[in-house]
Amino acid sequence: MPGQAQHRLTVVVLAGVTILLAALTLHARRQTSDMIVLKLAHGLDSTHPVHISMEYMAKRVFEKSGGGMRIDIFPSEQLGSERECTEQVQLGSLDMTKSSTTALEPFIPEMGVFTLPYMFRDSEHYWEVVNGEIGDEILAAGLPVGLHGLCYFDAGSRSFYATHPIESPADFRGKKIRVQQSPTAMAMIHALGGAPTPIPFGELYTALQQGVVDGAENNAPSLLTSRHYEVAKYFALNEHAYVPDALIMSEVVWRNLPPDAQRHLAEAADEAAVFQRDLWAKMSAEAIETLKEAGVTVTHPDKQPFVDAVRPMLSAPKHPAVERLVQKILAQ
Ligand code: GCU
């Protein structure tokens, strides 16, 4: 009967389509499960040069792996503060993070050496250290605590900004100054005569706005992209520290990656670090101009009173590993 035959044909066709769909789904699933997807979280804005450089790294990883590896980036503390992200990376529940080396000090004491004020003679001295044996040694110091350092990113020099003008350390008296969660950063504000207040970067805008703190310190691109300048209009370029950012991977996750994936990632991170240094130079010069145009008072205070106030920090007792690094850096 034509009716029955038609019905049987429909059933056969439907069964065929179902099998085909199942096969396609399986194939797609296999493809997704074959693809390595890494999650990278950090606290900076997506317009920040460090974020842009990590996007570049993600693009290079994708290309190098022939589409077999992807990095999904979550900016602006979406997955937590630098401290929280680093904790997740240690556990392996987050694959990668990018943190200021200052915020890494509680995990890796050696990282604290960058936060020591006026540690480096100039930016050449700083780059020799960062790109040399000492920089490698500091990155590798995270391994025993599950933090696999991939590269550094330039974060320029840090200077103070506040809701009041800053000309000398006398202007810190009685003032609350936000610091990153680092014993060395706390000690620096004490040495300058202020009251250090540790606050995650993402909470700082409101803290400045509501007068919880009177000032903070950072580089120009971070001051600009965080929009802190809207509520703290005095930026004094005293350049007390060169503190790089570091790209950190979970050692557990790293060890479980196939060798070619490790290679693609390491190469892409190195390429991103080179790319970032150029981008940083351009964007940090532009940031100063944009800040001025936005009504920020940018000054160049005499650095000597700042240097004198924090000098005792260099000879104060330190973690033995940090002490050794200080001596090495001074001798370089
Ligand atoms: C810099 C650094 C960030 C850090 C911030 C801070 O902007 O790049 O990683 O979070 O300083 O002061 O917390």
pLDDT digits (tens, 9 = 90+) for 294-324: 999 999 999 999 999 999 999 999 999 999 9
Provide the strand spans (E) within the chain.
36-42, 69-74, 96-100, 147-153, 157-162, 176-179, 195-198, 215-218, 234-242, 245-250, 297-299
Same domain, 112 and 229: no
The arithmetic mean of pLDDT across residues 140-166, rounded, is 98
Same domain, 63 and 141: yes
The DSSP 8-state label assigned to residue 169 in this structure reads: G
Residue 317, burial from CB neighbour count under 10 angstroms (0-12, 13-18, 19+): exposed
Cβ atoms of 147 and 185 closer than 8 Å: no
Same domain, 151 and 162: no
Same domain, 125 and 259: yes
The pLDDT, as a whole number, for residue 20 is 39
Return the CA Rg of the chain.
25
The pLDDT, as a whole number, for residue 31 is 42
Same domain, 198 and 230: yes
Same domain, 234 and 257: no
Same domain, 250 and 326: no
Q: Residue 215 forms beta bridges with which residues?
A: 162, 177
Whether the predicted pLDDT of 18 surpasses 60: no
Question: Which of 8-17, 66-75, 155-164 comes out lowest in average pLDDT?
Answer: 8-17
Same domain, 165 and 136: no
The pLDDT, as a whole number, for residue 33 is 66
Quick one: which atom of ligand 1 is closest to the CA of 99?
9
Cβ atoms of 145 and 109 closer than 8 Å: no
4: confidence class by pLDDT, cuts 50, 70, 90: very low
Distance 158 CA to ligand 1 centre (A): 10
Chain mean pLDDT for the chain: 92
Closest by CA to 65, choosing from 317, 266, 308, 291, is: 266
Same domain, 166 and 275: no
Same domain, 264 and 297: no
Distance 11 CA to ligand 1 centre (A): 63
Give the number of other CB atoms < 10 A from CB of residue 167: 13
Please provide residue 36's backbone torsions phi and psi, each rounded to the nearest 5 degrees.
Answer: -90, 120
To the nearest whole percent, how much of the chain has pLDDT over 90? 90
Quick one: which atom of ligand 1 is closest to the CA of 178?
12
pLDDT digits (tens, 9 = 90+) for 268-295: 999 999 999 999 999 999 999 999 999 9
Residue 180 Cβ inside 6 Å of ligand 1? The answer reads: yes
Same domain, 268 and 144: yes
Q: Which of 40, 42, 44, 47 to mutate to test the pocket of ligand 1 (most atoms within 8 A of CB)?
A: 44
CATH code for position 32: 3.40.190.170
Same domain, 85 and 130: yes
User: Domain total for the chain?
Assistant: 2
Residue 250 Cβ inside 6 Å of ligand 1? The answer reads: no
Q: Which domain holds residue 265?
A: 2-155+244-286
